[in-house]
Amino acid sequence: MKTALLLLASFGFASGVAAQHPIVLMTESYPPFSYQEPGGKYRGAGIDQVEIIMREAQVPFTLEILPWARAIAMAETQADHCVFAAARTAEREPRFKWVVPLFVDRNILVRHGGSKVSAATMEEAKQYTVGTHRADYTEGLLKSFGFPKIDLSSDIDTTLRKLLEDRIEMMPMSEGVYEKLRSTGTAIERVIVFSEQHLGIACNRATPDALIATMQTHLDRLIKDGAQTAILNRYGINQPQ
């Protein structure tokens, strides 16, 4: 596991709150939002934004790519830990302190290209086996929508492999990820829109309110000055209108 330790010149929060330990920021491998290049550098539309936010806030931090279930569990249970990009759902709302949105995400159900899977409504989609990865917000949504056949994997790559091997019939996927995979020749096809939500940084409840406010201020600035849109466009991500 690679940990990128980014210690800034100032070890105090811009808000005046003393930083005793670096903030541990965790994400999953989920191109084009977050991924590791062959040379080891972390990249992605989410990572680029988070690095700017923390640098401008003058907050020391580490950055790690982990399996999603582990990352979100650590953010909920360990002080000085945050996870991104987490969907801000009603169920998750009270479990974390939030900095949002890094992006607005439309999630779609996709099938293996050329398969006979077809659904015009969510009710029709429920006849199929749908896969996702453990602790992802889509697991909770599938259950709340009443999908009876849910296949769980450890990560999105495993779920995608199952779809391409016809071991599952559909999977939910960010529209941005779908477009990226299609552009590289992955044989998947859109079925229907599944959900739409804000994704952001979810921090442990012990995180000082002053730090959350400082991070939110710098994210708001990214959005206001157009820098967020430029970052998303650089990675080929179009925001829902």
The answer to whether 133 touches 30, Cβ cutoff 8 Å, is no
DSSP 238: P
What tens-digit pLDDT sequence spans the chain (241 residues)?
444 444 333 334 444 444 458 999 999 999 999 999 999 999 999 999 999 999 999 999 999 999 999 999 999 999 999 999 999 998 999 999 999 999 998 899 999 999 999 999 999 999 999 999 999 999 999 999 999 999 999 999 999 999 999 999 999 999 889 998 999 999 999 999 999 989 999 999 999 999 999 999 999 999 999 999 999 999 988 776 6
Element at 143 (helix H, strand E):
helix 137-144
Domain 3-104+197-234 belongs to what topology? D-Maltodextrin-Binding Protein; domain 2 (3.40.190)
User: CATH class for domain 105-196?
Assistant: alpha beta
Extents of the domains making up the chain: 3-104+197-234, 105-196
Is the pTM here over 0.85, yes or no?
no
